[in-house]
Amino acid sequence: MKKHNIISIENKRPRVNKDKLRKLLLGTKEKKGLLNQLFLYSLLICIGFVYLYPLLYMISKSFMSLEDLLDTSISWIPSKLNFGNYLKAARSMDYLKTFLQSVIVAGIPTLLNVIVCSFVGYGFARFEFKGKKLMLGILIFSFILPPQITMMPTYVLFNNLKLVGKLQSFLIPALLGQGLNAQIFILIFYQFFKLVPKVLIEAAHIDGAGFFRSFLRISVPSAKPAYITVFLFSLVWYWNESYLTQLYVSGVYIKGTLSTLIIKLKQFDVNYNTMQTVEGVATSNNESIRMAATLLSILPVLIMYFIMQRSFVESIDRTGITGE
């Protein structure tokens, strides 16, 4: 009898080990297994590498001298850090002046975009009126509509209104709720303001607050994540927009007074050769100088993301919005 019990116990031990091993590898309902975590982290590392590789390549090449570029033995790490590439790129782009103009061209329309889109989104979320569903449908359709279709008619309209080559060509559409990608921002505010409890707004009305005061005191503080998300997306889209900025603000046929770092980057080769001719220097343009100019043009956006990273991630988590 004792021998039989000993044999049965020994037979059960491997099964327990197999169950533990299966739970360790495959996981349970409460905890992910080792294989799932390994696959997830491997996938995230691959995706992160795809996104980080161009940036790392840009940083590496921007510090290389012409000799490092010609040396086949040097691939990633330069022989010495060459900061002269950044100085040449900054002089060619007239960096400080162009940076301030970029802040104006991207910042002011962004502020108007955020304010106006929040008003429109709140109106759609809190008020019932005839044609509301039709207007929402038109709003979604206008976002799906390719911007190339309305680009030339808009240019003709701005030209007739004498807005080409002026910042007003960005300010007026943003003030009227037609800023860059304003449709998606209105939908973000619309969806978020719908989540604010109506009981709070009704209580504010009972206490004597009007619609505007209840909007400022209750809805706006509750919608802080949405405001952060819309502000960052709008600023980045205005900052990176080169074609419309050159077409409307800077002007193609009419020489405008405003430019941006992205436009200067597009014209970098011409501006650099012109600078070399004026200064009488025979330094040829190369890949390192171009990479330095590219990094300088996106550096303000990278710094802004780094500073506001925590608030941005929290706002994305609460709003459920994914970026492009």
Buried b / exposed e over 131-166, threshold 16 CB at 10 Å, is eeeeeeeebeeeeeeeeeeeeeebbeebbeeebbbb
User: pLDDT value at position 111?
Assistant: 94
User: pLDDT value at position 322?
Assistant: 45
- Phi and psi at residue 42, to the nearest 5°: -65, -40
The percent of residues in the chain predicted with pLDDT above 70, rounded, is 81
Cβ within 8 Å of residue 119, ≥6 positions away: none
> CATH code at 163?
1.10.3720.10
3-state secondary structure of 196: coil
Confidence of residue 323 (pLDDT cuts 50, 70, 90): very low
Q: Where are the alpha helices (DSSP H) in 176-246?
A: 182-193, 198-206, 211-214, 220-222, 224-240, 243-244
144 and 255 in a common domain: yes
147 and 7 in a common domain: no
Give the whole-angstrom CA distance, residue 183 versus residue 301.
Answer: 23
User: pLDDT value at position 324?
Assistant: 41
Would you give the DSSP letter of residue 285? P
For the segment 81-89, the average pLDDT, to the nearest whole number, is 87
When mean pLDDT is compared across 37-46, 161-170, 304-313, the lowest value belongs to: 304-313
For the segment 131-140, the average pLDDT, to the nearest whole number, is 86
Identity of residue 323: G
Last residue of a domain, one of 251, 266, 281: 266
101 and 19 in a common domain: no
Domain assignment of residue 286, yes or no: no
191 touches 124 (CB < 8 A): no
Residue 181: which of 249, 242, 225, 238 has the closest Cα?
Answer: 238
Residue 43 has pLDDT above 60, yes or no: yes
For the segment 260-266, the average pLDDT, to the nearest whole number, is 88
159 and 238 in a common domain: yes
Both structure tokens of 130: 């005839």
Residue 254 has pLDDT above 70, yes or no: no
User: pLDDT value at position 4?
Assistant: 52
Residue that wins the pLDDT comparison between 248 and 254:
248
User: pLDDT value at position 37?
Assistant: 79
Sign of CA dihedral 258, 179, 297, 268: negative
Q: At what angle do helices 2-26 and 34-62 cross, to 10 degrees?
A: 30
Last residue of a domain, one of 231, 266, 301: 266
Would you give the DSSP letter of residue 218? I
Domain assignment of residue 228, yes or no: yes
Residue 112: which of 230, 261, 288, 271 has the closest Cα?
Answer: 230
Give the whole-angstrom CA distance, residue 182 versus residue 114.
Answer: 9
Structural domain total, the chain? 2
35 and 98 in a common domain: no
User: pLDDT value at position 175?
Assistant: 92
3-state secondary structure of 27: strand
163 and 43 in a common domain: no
99 and 47 in a common domain: no
Identity of residue 47: I
Domain assignment of residue 31, yes or no: yes
Domain assignment of residue 187, yes or no: yes
Residue 174: which of 250, 244, 259 has the closest Cα?
Answer: 244
Domain assignment of residue 178, yes or no: yes
251 and 102 in a common domain: yes
47 and 98 in a common domain: no
Cα distance between the two ends of the chain: 71
For residue 103, how many other CB atoms are within 10 A of its CB? Answer: 15
Give the whole-angstrom CA distance, residue 169 versus residue 161.
Answer: 10
105 and 251 in a common domain: yes
Domain assignment of residue 35, yes or no: yes
Which residue range(s) make up the domain with 26?
2-51
Confidence of residue 179 (pLDDT cuts 50, 70, 90): confident
Domain assignment of residue 312, yes or no: no
Confidence of residue 110 (pLDDT cuts 50, 70, 90): very high
146 and 26 in a common domain: no
Confidence of residue 107 (pLDDT cuts 50, 70, 90): very high
Give the whole-angstrom CA distance, residue 286 versus residue 96.
Answer: 22
Residue 249 has pLDDT above 90, yes or no: no
Domain assignment of residue 115, yes or no: yes
For the segment 247-262, the average pLDDT, to the nearest whole number, is 72
248 touches 155 (CB < 8 A): yes
101 and 246 in a common domain: yes
Give the whole-angstrom CA distance, residue 154 versus residue 172.
Answer: 12
